[in-house]
Structure 1
Amino acid sequence: MKFDSPLTEGILIRRYKRFLADIRLPDGTEITAHCANPGAMLGLKQPGQKVWLSKSDNPKRKLAYSWELTEADNTIVGINTARPNALVEEAIHNGTISELQGYDTLKREVRYGKNSRIDILLSGSARANCYVEVKNVHMLRTKRLYEFPDSVTARGTKHLAELADMAAEGHRAVMLYLIQRDDGDRLRFAGEIDPAYAAALASAHRAGVEALAYVCRLTPDSIEAYRQVPVDVPEA
């Protein structure tokens, strides 16, 4: 996925109120950007870090700039949690995610479960539907080890239960973790941060829910999923 227009470089001053970030641009101007990330962003919101912003021409937007990337530990990290669904769709279409090939149709944001929407629904005439929930990963506290989640996610726990229900009904159910950084080798789950999520994943996995993780290659020009890493599913 290429960005629609070149990103603007800046220096992070502070991230606050979860969805706001003050950024200093190269000419010294200070602006407030939208931060599309509800998580804790551990290690990714330090004042002085280099960041990259996209800019919208929509006059109805309150904030023209959106925070897209940050540089942490000499690695470019994608922090915009609105990007992963489109990135996964692209990776399915181009064959990168081999486990999700062979379906006739792909639909986004389809209603299912208990008043929820599945991120991606794959279907084909000769096979069961495949429900794919996508989660963004960007935490790395130990060298080469990705972790999820970086904060308590009751919504994520709910999604695991609903995927387990789909598996029980005979459908295929997949939790796909899209990792927006390229400096690790495997994914573990931070049960010390959210024990309920880790327990729910163990239960969902026993019920037939698959867990996949794909890493992205990132530059200030583009993001693309390109390689798979092992997933350490927690035991009950």
Structure 2
Amino acid sequence: MQFSSSLCRGQLIRRYKRFLADVIHPGSSTEAPLTIHCPNTGKMTGCAEPGWTVYFSTSDNQKRKYAHTWELVENRRGDLICVNTGRANPLVAEALAQKRIPSLAQYDDIKAEVRYGNEGSRIDFLLSGGDEPDCYVEVKSVTLLDETAGEPGGQGYFPDTESVRAQKHVRELIDCVHHGHRAVLLFCVLHTGIDRVSPAQHLDPVYAGLVLEALTAGVECQAWKADISPEGMTLIEQLPFAV
């Protein structure tokens, strides 16, 4: 997946009001900070420290209040992190269409945002057309790295805070399996420093318990890592996943 426009580089001053960030942009004609849109409603732990390098895209939509969108950040270790959570689904859609996820390559029909379940959810992808039952795929973006070891590469977690919405999605997947469908919880790792993934028991024990219940019920959990650069992103490898 290539970014539609070349990303500009800047230095983060601060992220605030959830949806905004101020950056220093060396290419600006003024010394005033540039305010950009932050497309991430999460806590962004380990992803938004002042002074870090940020990469942002530019829209030519004249109706937008803020023309620039924060896409990537580079942490102090040199890891690249995609903070735009809206990129995860297109990245997975590309991998599905190009048959780069072997366990899901047998499906020819890919539908996005299909209503399902008893709790008013929309599944990220409904796959059909293979010899197996229809497959429901829920995508989660992983950017939280445990840096306690202080070494490159490490343990990633989802979610980065308590998430009632994520809990609901796991319950819906369990229900899918109970109704004879295939269900996959796909963790899209958008942090080059992460090399394994687990549910964040220390941040959302309810979610972690539901994931364990889901695995027992037959829901498949997969973690796939993206190669990330200012030019684009591609899912490249499956990572270990453990509860």
Question: 1:39 deviation in Å?
Answer: 1.3
Matches of 1:179 and 1:41, distance apart in 2: 14
Q: What does the per-residue CA deviation read over 1:126-153, in whole Å, with 9 as the maximum and x for residues that have no partner? A: 3311000000001112341111111111
Residue 38 of structure 1 pairs with residue 48 of structure 2: no
- The answer (yes or no) to whether the contact 1:54–1:67 under 8 Å persists in 2 is yes
User: Equivalent residue for 2:190?
Assistant: 180
Q: 1:145-156 alignment to 2 at 5 Å?
A: 145-156=155-166
Residue 119 of structure 1 pairs with residue 124 of structure 2: yes
Matches of 1:70 and 1:103, distance apart in 2: 34
SS state at 2:139 partner = strand
> Residues 177, 44 of structure 1: CA spacing in aligned structure 2 closer, same or farther, 3 A cutoff?
same
Amino acid in the other structure paired with 2:235? A
User: Which deviates further from its counterpart, 49-58 or 116-125?
Assistant: 116-125
User: Which deviates further from its counterpart, 210-219 or 182-191?
Assistant: 182-191
Matches of 1:62 and 1:37, distance apart in 2: 17
User: Which deviates further from its counterpart, 138-147 or 153-162?
Assistant: 138-147
User: Equivalent residue for 1:135?
Assistant: 140
Q: What does the per-residue CA deviation read over 1:174-232, in whole Å, with 9 as the maximum and x for residues that have no partner? A: 00000012223211222111111101111111111110000010110011110010101
What is the TM-score of this pair, normalised by structure 2? 0.92
Unaligned runs of 5+ in 2: none
- The answer (yes or no) to whether the contact 2:106–2:130 under 8 Å persists in 1 is no
Q: What does the per-residue CA deviation read over 1:34-67, in whole Å, with 9 as the maximum and x for residues that have no partner? A: 1111111111111111000011111121211110
Amino acid in the other structure paired with 1:171? H
Aligned length: 233
User: Equivalent residue for 1:106?
Assistant: 110
Amino acid in the other structure paired with 2:211? L
Question: 1:170 deviation in Å?
Answer: 0.4
Residue 165 of structure 1 pairs with residue 175 of structure 2: yes
Q: Percent identity?
A: 45
Matches of 2:108 and 2:238, distance apart in 1: 23
Quote the RMSD (CA, aligned, Å).
Answer: 1.2
Unaligned runs of 5+ in 1: none
Residue 48 of structure 1 pairs with residue 58 of structure 2: no
Matches of 1:184 and 1:136, distance apart in 2: 12
Q: 1:205-224 alignment to 2 at 5 Å?
A: 205-224=215-234
SS state at 1:82 partner = helix
Matches of 1:165 and 1:6, distance apart in 2: 43
What is the TM-score of this pair, normalised by structure 1? 0.95
Matches of 2:209 and 2:25, distance apart in 1: 43
- The answer (yes or no) to whether the contact 2:55–2:71 under 8 Å persists in 1 is yes
SS state at 1:48 partner = coil
> Residues 101, 55 of structure 1: CA spacing in aligned structure 2 closer, same or farther, 3 A cutoff?
same
SS state at 1:196 partner = helix
